[in-house]
Amino acid sequence: MHVDFRSNDSRGIMQGIRRNGDVNVESLIFQVATSQSMTYPGEKVAGILFFIAATQFLLSLNVAEALYPDFSVSGNYISDLGIGPSYMIFNSSVFLLGLLLLVGTYFLRRASGYRTLNIMLILMAVGAMGVGVFTKDYRTAHGALASMAFFFGGLSAISSSRVLKKPLSLISIILGLVTLVALALFSMGMYASGSLTSDIAYNSDFYLSLGPGGMEHMIVLPALVWLAGFSWHLLAQRETPTKE
């Protein structure tokens, strides 16, 4: 830690040392620590939480799909994992995703320029947590909460471009648009194929040969990639020295 020996506090410390004629290291450390402190901004804490949120869900999603017998990335909904053999892994990880987002947003609340993004992240977090609680068996609630998480995930990526520098701001806009366009195609495909009122994931031309599961992955993955990248932006913020 850098100490400015021109400050009044530092002069007092050095004068006390001169008067005593010797250097008491422990006393010096204590006085310096109490006269000046380093505050780590909430952006860094939020960045850590956002990175953990994204990576733990991506890893858990991969594990849940591997443990689900005959799971098809193309033919199965991601939400099928929430009622299948690996339901504990999927439901806990998606709930944790939302919870970490919510806590991270709390630490981001005092940072300037993040107000709109914070609202989007809170809504995304509530949707993700809801998906972990209301599984596919609760069709209406699950569909609404999943759409909420998807929609505000895409908007969060686009909104973050206001606080990011190029080219990361442009990448965030692209990832957000991919999520929103994929969500629109997925919704139209479900309506056109009759999947809205069925537990079966019927195929549709709106899925662009990716299948319902493949199109759903195109909604989720860009938002998570953005979240991981945005977390590194937050972690790169500098510490701000403050006097207390």
Give 214-239 pLDDT, tens digit per residue: 999 999 999 999 999 999 999 987 65
pLDDT value at residue 239: 59
pLDDT value at residue 22: 52
Other beta carbons less than 10 A from residue 171's beta carbon:
16
Same domain (yes/no): 131, 33: no
Same domain (yes/no): 60, 179: yes
Nearest to 52 by CA among 231, 239, 220, 237: 231
The one-letter code for the residue type at 193 is S
Sequence-distant (6+) residues with CB within 8 A of 78 are: 61, 213, 216, 217, 220
Cα–Cα distance, 118 to 186 (Å, whole number): 26
Residue 1 lies in a domain: no
Residue 155 C-beta-side C-alpha neighbours within 13 Å? 16
Q: Considering the entire predicted model, what is its pTM?
A: 0.80
Same domain (yes/no): 31, 127: no
Does the structure show a pLDDT above 80 at 199?
no
58-96: per-residue pLDDT in tens?
999 999 999 999 999 999 999 999 999 999 999 999 999
Same domain (yes/no): 189, 92: yes
Work out how many domains the chain is built from and give that number: 2
Same domain (yes/no): 13, 25: yes
Same domain (yes/no): 45, 112: yes
Confidence of residue 112 (pLDDT cuts 50, 70, 90): confident
Region 120-141 average pLDDT = 96
Same domain (yes/no): 20, 57: no
Name residue, tokens 């069709």. 139
DSSP assignment letter at 24 = -
Same domain (yes/no): 33, 100: no
pLDDT value at residue 110: 79
In this structure, are residues 92 and 59 in contact, taking their beta carbons and an 8 Å threshold?
no
Region 184-205 average pLDDT = 91
Same domain (yes/no): 30, 65: no
Same domain (yes/no): 95, 108: yes
Domain that includes residue 25, residue range: 8-37
